[in-house]
Structure 1
């Protein structure tokens, strides 16, 4: 795992393509991944922003997100927001 990606362990594993998914790797978004999104919406962990961004930076697709257990969304959205926080302060 590099500083350009994080691995999120899911509280509730789910099935995707016949495999049990227990964690998701998120790549740090670049400017192109944020196209059409409000950065404020992304940082405020708005669901619509996450549904647009997550398929661009992970193995998840929109259907995965719509069917996902709610408790899995919070850690994913928290990690996305953490990409935009300067921890050097």
Structure 2
């Protein structure tokens, strides 16, 4: 039996949590520490100057270029360049996921 709650779209908070990465190594910014980063799906203009194929392959230079454009808090290219590789990989995989259509994510079992 399917209930109304089963068929509703996920709420904004759940989507934000899906796009939030808790960093293994927090980023130091002055006296503050950034411990998590939330990404939003980029629009086409924010992908200018970057090969989509390179983003799908999680090319480091491409991720470093796009990440500051779509992150909250907004990061600098220098901060991204100094990031722990494990954190960069996690954020890169989120960016790659943004480039896939919903049907491709379902086919690849990338969505619940």
TM-score, normalised by the number of residues in structure 1: 0.87
Is 1:39 the counterpart of 2:52? The answer is: yes
The structure where helix makes up a greater share of residues is: 2
Name the structure 2 match of 1:57: 70
Evaluate the alpha carbon distance shift between residue 3 and residue 32 of structure 1 in structure 2; reply closer, same or farther with a 3 A threshold: farther
Mapped partners of 2:59, 2:94: distance in 1? 13
Q: After superposition, where does 1:64-79 map in structure 2 within 5 Å?
A: 64-79=79-94
The structure where strand makes up a greater share of residues is: 1
Number of residues of Structure 1 aligned to a counterpart in Structure 2: 89
When Rg is computed on C-alpha atoms for both structures, the one with the higher figure is: 2
**Structure 1 runs not aligned, ≥5 long:** none
Mapped partners of 2:15, 2:87: distance in 1? 22
Mapped partners of 1:83, 1:29: distance in 2? 8
Secondary structure of the residue aligned to 1:88 is helix
CA-based RMSD = 1.8
Secondary structure of the residue aligned to 2:42 is coil
**Structure 2 runs not aligned, ≥5 long:** 1-12, 108-112
2:36 to 11, 16, 23: 23
